[in-house]
Amino acid sequence: MENRSRIQDFKELLSTAWPLMLSTGLFSITLFVDRLFLFQYSDAAAAAAMSAGTLFWSVTCLPAGICGYTSTFVAQYLGVRRVDRAMHVVWQGCLLAIAMMPVLVLLGLYSNRLFIAFGHPPELAKSEYDFFLGLVPGACATILSSALVGLFAGSGRPLVLLYCDAIATATNAVLDYGMIFGNLGFPEWGVAGAALASSLSLSLKCVLLAGFALWYLKTNRFGVWPNHAGVMNRFQDVFRWDFPLMRRLIRFGWPAGVSVVAEAWSFAIIMMIVGNLGERPAAATTLALGVNVLAFIPLMGLGIAVGVLVGKYLVQSQLKTAQRLIEAALIVGLIYSGAFAILYGVFPEQVMSIYAIGNDPARFEAIKPELKPLLYFIAAYCVFDSIQVIFSGVLKGAGDTLFVLLGHAVAGFGTVGLAVLGQKIFGWDGLYYWWGVISIWVIVLAIFFTARYLHGGWKTKRVIEPDLVSCDA
């Protein structure tokens, strides 16, 4: 298997990556549509969605990161042909997700105090609270979906994820159109309608994933079950609490989850500060981020794909194959992000024209001077974003999650912390100052994870039980 052509490397990578890139890309379209419709509704609605949406991800990413780490376990268990353990660890992730849901509900109920604490105007804080509270059911569905996503991503069946995301994205767009503006027989709910639409579509995705998982388990589509167990025995093997396995999932998953928290909270701090600059800078940031997700989020699919493949080949003692797939992922990522860098840097007017559709021309022209430079920032850092996403995916796929946490903590809190000191001591502030901070942060992440990859410490990491690796690798 180690002797293979470069074409085989790209073929295997892309067969796993393209559905995941499209799947995560559909999620970016969901975010883009939300922001587009809310900007059409009002500047205040767009600003509220930016702050509350960032907080939503900040509190969701820890449980989602832990539960979603099932993908690495599934890849490594299937790499040693233990389909029973692969399905079983997904159920442990689902149980963990259910246990975390009450915490999300409490955070939603008391989130208004946080928005007020950041000094946001009362009307903006009220809209932010409405948006965040409406997203709480979607947050619960998201963390449960994360465990189920790990089953299909880790087993090399990403088309299931693509189908589910396509249905959820279409549902969200239709509900957004109805619930924000009062169309299709719905009342005009504005920012609260956008949140409710997102929650309903995320819940639908969760139900679809659960249905596919049960069907795959019943029909034994993931491989030969140990001892050729029947349907009832398979269900009994999977649907039981396994404390040692759950502890193992938490042991490797919590650094992955906390690393996303470090990233999300660092970003949330910046967004909260930008929110204090006024509605127009906040709205311009919301629109720029809406464009940025089109370049960034599909790369997350590529990062998941390369991580899954690395985990699979490491437990099979095929390090050279894993490294060749990493090189292929870098080439794909650099081409993809480079194309967006050219698009945003050379054709910013054409990119911004997307937001002119259905908007008051005078209102759009007023925000363009602040929006255009933000596209140049994105063009400058998006190639570095692809590098850090791919290498962090490699480290997570191997099980080197503690270093991923260290990287995000140092780069995120270090960069943002120094920026806040600069604001307090030297008076540095403003929209472009904080976007410069974001750019430096991404570049530091890329350097950090590249250095760890070259160091090679990830090569000896595994997440599954050592006796399984030694027996089957």
Look at residue 402 and tell me if it is in a domain. Answer: yes
Question: Each residue of 187-207: pLDDT tens digit?
Answer: 999 999 999 999 999 999 999
Look at residue 124 and tell me if it is in a domain. Answer: yes
What is residue 472's predicted lDDT score, i.e. its pLDDT? 43
Query: Longest C-alpha distance within the chain, in Å?
Result: 70
Look at residue 411 and tell me if it is in a domain. Answer: yes
Q: How far apart are CA 192 and CA 45, in angstroms?
A: 9
Q: Residue type for 209, please?
A: L
Question: Each residue of 14-56: pLDDT tens digit?
Answer: 999 999 988 887 877 887 788 789 888 887 888 788 778 877 8
Q: How far apart are CA 316 and CA 80, in angstroms?
A: 7
Question: Each residue of 402-433: pLDDT tens digit?
Answer: 999 999 988 988 898 999 899 889 888 889 99
Q: Which single residue is written with the structure tokens 């995941």? A: 20
Look at residue 297 and tell me if it is in a domain. Answer: yes
The lowest-confidence range among 59-63, 168-172, 215-219, 422-426 is 215-219
Question: Each residue of 310-327: pLDDT tens digit?
Answer: 999 999 989 999 999 999
First to last CA, the chain: 13
Please tell me whether residue 182 adopts helix, strand or coil conformation.
coil
Look at residue 229 and tell me if it is in a domain. Answer: yes
The lowest-confidence range among 158-162, 227-231, 275-279, 303-307 is 227-231
Where does the pLDDT of residue 229 fall: very low under 50, low under 70, confident under 90, or very high at 90 and above?
low
* Mean pLDDT on 294-313: 90
257, 100 contact by CB (below 8 A): no
* Mean pLDDT on 95-121: 86
Where does the pLDDT of residue 473 fall: very low under 50, low under 70, confident under 90, or very high at 90 and above?
very low
Check the CA dihedral 39-42-43-49 and report its sign. negative
**% of the chain at pLDDT higher than 70:** 94
13, 329 contact by CB (below 8 A): yes
Residue 439, pLDDT > 90, answer: yes
Residue 338, pLDDT > 90, answer: yes
Higher pLDDT, 247 or 293: 247
Q: In the chain, how many domains are there?
A: 1
Look at residue 180 and tell me if it is in a domain. Answer: yes
Look at residue 473 and tell me if it is in a domain. Answer: no
Q: Residue type for 317, please?
A: S
pTM for this predicted structure: 0.82
The long-range contacts involving 432-441, CB below 8 angstroms and separated by at least 24 positions, are: 432/373, 432/377, 434/270, 434/273, 434/274, 435/285, 435/373, 435/374, 435/377, 436/377, 437/270, 438/267, 438/270, 438/377, 438/381, 439/377, 439/380, 439/381, 440/415, 441/266, 441/411, 441/412, 441/415, 441/416
Question: Each residue of 277-288: pLDDT tens digit?
Answer: 887 888 888 888
**Domain containing 180: what range?**
6-463
**% of the chain at pLDDT higher than 90:** 52
390, 309 contact by CB (below 8 A): no
Question: Each residue of 367-402: pLDDT tens digit?
Answer: 888 889 999 999 999 999 999 999 999 999 999 999
Q: How far apart are CA 116 and CA 316, in angstroms?
A: 53
Look at residue 471 and tell me if it is in a domain. Answer: no
What is residue 230's predicted lDDT score, i.e. its pLDDT? 61
* Mean pLDDT on 108-116: 81
